[in-house]
Chain A
Amino acid sequence: MATTFMKYLETTPADYDRGIKIITLGQIQGIQERIAEFVQPGDRVLEIGCGTGSLALLCAKRGAKVVGIDTSPPMLAEAQKKVKAAGMEHRIELRLMDATTIADHSEPASFDLIVSTLVLSELEENTLEYVLEACGRLLKPEGRLLVADEVVPDGLLARLLFYLVRLPLALITWLITRTSTTALHGFPQKLALAGFKGRVVTSRLGGSLQLFSARPATAPRAISAPEVPRLRHRVTLWTLLKDLYCLLWRNIPPYPKVRTGLYRIGEPDCSSPVLVTGNYDLTVRRVVRELDGQVDAWLLVANSKGINVWCGAGGGHFTAENIIAAIKTSGLADVVDHRRLTLPQLCANGVKGKRIEQETGWRVRWGPCYARDIPAYLERGQRKTDAMRWVRFPLPARLEMAVVMWQFWAVLLAVILIIVRRPLVIPALLSSLAMFLFIGITWPWWPTRDGLLQGVGLALLSIALLAGWSITVGHLSPRPLFNWCVALGSLGLFAGADFQGASPFMRAGEAEHFWKLVPIGLLILAVYLFLPRTLGW
Chain B
Amino acid sequence: METTLRSFWQFMINTIFKTVHWDEERCSGCLTCYEVCPVGCCLPDPATKKIRVPDQDRCVVCGACVLQCPEGALALM
Please give the residue numbers on chain A whose beta carbons come within 8 Å of chain B beta carbons, in ascending order: 4, 8, 12, 14-15, 314, 345-346, 348-350, 352-354, 366, 369, 384, 386, 389-391, 504-508, 510-512, 515
Contacts and interface: CB of A to CB of B under 8 A. Distances in A.
A58 B16 CA distance: 41
B68 A348 contact: yes
5 contacts: A8-B11, A15-B4, A349-B67, A511-B11, A515-B16
Nearest to A364: B68
A354 B35 contact: no
A15 B61 CA distance: 24
B60 A505 contact: yes
A352 B4 CA distance: 27
Determine the interface band of chain B, counting residues with CB < 8 A from chain A.
20 to 34
B12 A390 contact: no
Interface string B1-33: 001100110011001101000000000000010
A43 to B, nearest CB: 34
A349 B62 contact: yes
Interface string B47-77: 0000000000000111110011010000000
B12 A511 contact: yes
Contacts of B68: 348, 352-354
Contacts of B3: 14
B40 A386 contact: yes
Contact of B60 (A12, A366, A506): A506
Main secondary structure of the interface of B (DSSP, over half): helix
Given A14-B3, A350-B67, A505-B60, A345 B38 contact: yes
A507 B61 contact: yes
B52 to A, nearest CB: 14
Contacts of B11: 8, 511
Top 10 A-B pairs, shortest CB-CB distance: A348-B36, A348-B64, A511-B15, A349-B64, A349-B62, A508-B15, A391-B38, A507-B60, A366-B35, A508-B61
B12 to A, nearest CB: 5
Given A349-B62, A507-B60, 19 more contacts: A8-B11, A12-B4, A348-B64, A349-B63, A349-B67, A354-B68, A354-B70, A366-B35, A366-B36, A386-B40, A389-B34, A390-B38, A391-B38, A506-B60, A507-B62, A510-B15, A512-B15, A515-B12, A515-B16
A94 B69 CA distance: 25
A390 B38 CA distance: 5
B55 to A, nearest CB: 12
B39 A391 contact: yes
A39 B22 CA distance: 50
Contact of A390 (B32, B40, B64, B70): B40
B21 to A, nearest CB: 15
